[in-house]
């Protein structure tokens, strides 16, 4: 019981809260000084630092409204929240971040600041005055000089038995001070979430920040999935084909190895670009994604193997950059899915540029046996649908008259800067 009480009064949390209260008292000093000037004028030129309780408490009463007014500045809440988190033992998620939004949050912040500096000023004054007095009272029986001092004679405590009572009385004063400080610290800690907690506007802003961060992470995850997933599928396909004809067609093996080299080199560059955006953090959230333009499709098709045919109608140079980048990723993911699920059948990819849209069609015959589905269902086809939707386009995928068809339409006028969104799954 004694140990628990000692922890409540003098433990680390109690000491930190004591520091927090003294910090409030230090913040109150300028307001108190202004109050003493005003009180000195009201009391007929009485010295500013007179020991009169009327001056001291009058200055205190004048300083509190001044503190409430200055707490309306935007930086008040961030500073108060930082101090409360560090010194009051309050969980970070229970307090709001940033300046106060709206009148209600501003009023609650003003209430907290006034409460903090007001209680802190009283605690700081007691901390400065009471311990020396308590120690002096406790030292009376052991110091002849103290016993001979004028205050002792005036107060009538020159009798020995009265002076010996000063030892327990001094200890009780110190314990009472610690108890009051602990109670004041606990009171402020309980009020902090109510006065400094997030308002509906703060919760909305935090939700918007989390949604934006999630969109960026999902966008980068989708880029990694498409580029690395395609590279692994293409390399696996080429290596498998080369292994089967290793002893009979050396030229094909050479071409397969060259395609593997080109695919891995290109993918390493894309991977470095994505990881660079991740390392940049928030500053790189709006950076350009590492997707390649449509004029790099020839290299992409070569890496996918000899069973892929590509046909292009129209001048792809007039496709907007954002549409070109997303179209490249769509074709890349379509080839990846074909490599996984087409069972080695021929794949045809057609790009047709019309006046106001780009049409992408990919087909491969359905294999005789259904392919083995991935345990997690994959993320490719839903990622394609997400890319098309973000550009205002459409996507259709599924079996049609004996073939597996992917059909995507992307409007050319829908590109509006960096593409954002969540990754899908297949």
Same-domain pairing of 74 and 26: yes
Residues 317 and 319: their CA atoms lie apart, in Å, by 6
Place of tokens 């010295």: 47
CA 22 to chain centre: 31
Among the candidates 146, 168, 197, a domain finishes at 197
**424 lies in some domain:** no
Residue that wins the pLDDT comparison between 95 and 270:
95
pTM beyond 0.95, yes or no: no
Residues 192 and 188: their CA atoms lie apart, in Å, by 6
Kindly report, residue by residue over 194-218, the tens digit of the pLDDT. Answer: 999 888 877 777 778 787 777 777 7
CATH number at 329 reads 3.30.565.10
Burial group, residue 361, by CB count within 10 angstroms (0-12, 13-18, 19+): middle
3-class SS of residue 358: strand
Q: Do residues 329 and 230 make contact, with C-beta atoms less than 8 angstroms apart?
A: no
**423 lies in some domain:** no
Kindly report, residue by residue over 21-50, the tens digit of the pLDDT. Answer: 999 999 999 999 888 888 877 766 555 555
pLDDT of residue 126: 93
Among the candidates 160, 179, 197, a domain finishes at 197
Same-domain pairing of 80 and 168: yes
Same-domain pairing of 283 and 143: no
**301 lies in some domain:** yes
Residues 48 and 59: their CA atoms lie apart, in Å, by 10
Helices (H), 245-320: 250-280, 297-304
Determine what percent of the chain is predicted with pLDDT higher than 90. Answer: 24
Same-domain pairing of 26 and 113: yes
Average pLDDT over residues 249-271: 79
Residues 357 and 350: their CA atoms lie apart, in Å, by 14
**422 lies in some domain:** no
Same-domain pairing of 168 and 186: yes
Place of tokens 């599924």: 398
pLDDT band at 255 (very low <50, low <70, confident <90, very high): confident
Average pLDDT over residues 70-84: 91
Q: Do residues 415 and 323 make contact, with C-beta atoms less than 8 angstroms apart?
A: yes
**421 lies in some domain:** no
Average pLDDT over residues 361-381: 65
pLDDT of residue 423: 35
Same-domain pairing of 390 and 340: yes
Domain boundaries, position 215: 206-414
Flag whether pLDDT at 177 surpasses 90.
Answer: yes
Same-domain pairing of 281 and 384: yes
CA distances from 396 to 82, 177, 360, 362, 399 (A): 52, 75, 10, 11, 10
Among the candidates 154, 173, 197, a domain finishes at 197
Task: Count how many residues are written for the chain.
Answer: 426
pLDDT of residue 28: 95
Flag whether pLDDT at 187 surpasses 90.
Answer: yes
Determine what percent of the chain is predicted with pLDDT higher than 70. Answer: 78
**66 lies in some domain:** yes
3-class SS of residue 75: coil
Considering its fold, how many domains does the chain have in total?
2
């Amino acid at each position: 019981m004694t140990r628990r009480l000692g922890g409540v009064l003098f433990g680390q949390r109690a000491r930190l809260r004591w520091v927090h209260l003294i910090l409030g008292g230090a913040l109150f000093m300028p307001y108190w000084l202004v109050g003493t000037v005003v009180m000195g004028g009201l009391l007929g030129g009485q010295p500013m630092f007179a020991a009169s309780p009327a001056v001291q408490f009058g200055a205190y009463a004048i300083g509190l409204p001044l503190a409430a007014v200055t707490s309306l500045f935007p930086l008040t809440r961030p500073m108060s929240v930082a101090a409360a988190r560090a010194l009051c033992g309050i969980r970070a998620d229970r307090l709001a971040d940033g300046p106060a939004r709206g009148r209600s949050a501003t009023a609650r912040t003003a209430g907290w600041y006034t409460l903090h500096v007001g209680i802190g000023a009283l605690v700081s004054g007691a901390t400065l005055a009471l311990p020396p007095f308590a120690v002096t009272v406790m030292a009376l029986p052991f110091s002849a000089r103290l016993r001979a001092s004028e205050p002792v004679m005036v107060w009538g405590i020159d009798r020995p038995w009265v002076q010996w009572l000063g030892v327990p009385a001094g200890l009780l004063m110190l314990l009472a001070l610690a108890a009051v400080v602990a109670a004041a610290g606990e009171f402020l800690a309980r009020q902090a979430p109510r006065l400094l907690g997030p308002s509906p506007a703060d919760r909305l802003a935090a939700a918007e920040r989390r949604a934006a961060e999630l969109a960026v992470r999902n966008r980068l995850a989708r880029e990694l999935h498409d580029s690395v997933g395609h590279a692994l599928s293409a390399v696996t396909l080429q290596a498998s084909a080369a292994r089967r004809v290793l002893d009979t067609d050396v030229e094909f093996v050479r071409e397969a190895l060259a395609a593997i080299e080109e695919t891995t080199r290109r993918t390493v560059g894309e991977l470095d670009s994505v990881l660079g955006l991740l390392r940049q953090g928030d500053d790189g959230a709006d950076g350009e994604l590492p997707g390649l333009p449509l004029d790099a499709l020839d290299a992409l098709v070569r890496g996918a193997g000899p069973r892929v045919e590509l046909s292009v109608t129209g001048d792809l140079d007039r496709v907007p950059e954002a549409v070109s980048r997303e179209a490249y990723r769509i074709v890349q993911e379509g080839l990846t899915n074909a490599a996984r699920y087409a069972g080695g059948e021929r794949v045809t990819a057609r790009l047709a540029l019309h006046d106001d849209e780009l049409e992408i069609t990919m087909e491969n015959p359905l294999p005789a046996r259904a392919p083995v589905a991935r345990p997690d269902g994959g993320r490719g086809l839903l990622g394609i649908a997400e890319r098309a939707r973000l550009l205002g386009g459409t996507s259709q995928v599924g079996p049609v008259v004996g073939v597996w068809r992917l059909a995507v339409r992307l409007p050319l006028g829908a590109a509006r800067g960096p593409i954002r969104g969540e990754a899908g799954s297949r």
